[in-house]
Amino acid sequence: MKTVAQRTSELGSLGVMSRTLRKRVLLAGGILLAVYFVLYFLNAAFGGYDPYYTSDGRSRYEGGMLMHDCIMWQPRFGSYHNEHRHDFIGLAFYPLLQLDHRYVHKTHSVGDDDFPKWLESLAVADIHPKFRSDFARWRAVAAKYEPELVAATARGDKDEAKRIRRLIREESDGVVTNK
């Protein structure tokens, strides 16, 4: 039979062991949290805006379908556009992505008053690396036809302006026609 002093001694050593274990768990948790933040910030540093219109889940048609009306920033690896369109990495970094979208890399909607001005000021370097070549091609094609489009619009020739816009769209998508 153990004495009270022996029991107290055993309980004390268990308490010290649990404090040591608690410190190790807190240290491991702190390291994991630091690695999580560092990985996100490295991933975020090399991301950019996805120039394809998408939905952030806020705007919907009357039937409930998502409206593709915005351009969102995404990290280099992984994406989280809305609850229906994301991948594993985007889901893993969801809390930090939401903070990033809210305070640093804001989502821009076509309904925003400054959207056309913002879109014009968007540099190729601001675009996600995956889409930079597409964006640069779109910009080059638009610049190529801009004088003709401006002239057609100034003349009030809607059919010619429509034809030029179609040419821009087709050439931007890599489809070239002889029209």
pTM for the whole thing?
Answer: 0.70
Residues forming a β-bridge with 70: 54, 109
Reference 152, options 167, 173, 172; nearest CA is 167
Long-range contacts, stretch 74-78, CB < 8 angstroms, 24+ apart: 74/47, 74/48, 74/49, 74/50, 74/128, 75/40, 75/43, 75/44, 75/46, 75/47, 75/100, 76/43, 76/44, 76/45, 76/46, 76/47, 76/128, 76/129, 77/43, 78/43
**Token reading at 112:** 């925003």
Alpha carbon distances (Å) from 88 to 47, 78, 128: 16, 7, 18
pLDDT score, position 13? 54
Quick check: 90 pLDDT over 50? yes
pLDDT, tens only, 159-175: 999 999 898 888 887 65
Quick check: 58 pLDDT over 80? no
3-state helix, strand, coil in the chain (%, to 5): 60, 10, 30
pLDDT score, position 25? 92
pLDDT, tens only, 114-134: 998 998 899 999 999 998 988
pLDDT score, position 176? 46
Give the C-alpha separation, 44 to 54, whole Å.
19
pLDDT score, position 159? 92
Alpha helices in 156-179 (DSSP H): 158-172
Average pLDDT for the chain: 84
Domain locations in the chain? 1-45, 46-130, 131-179
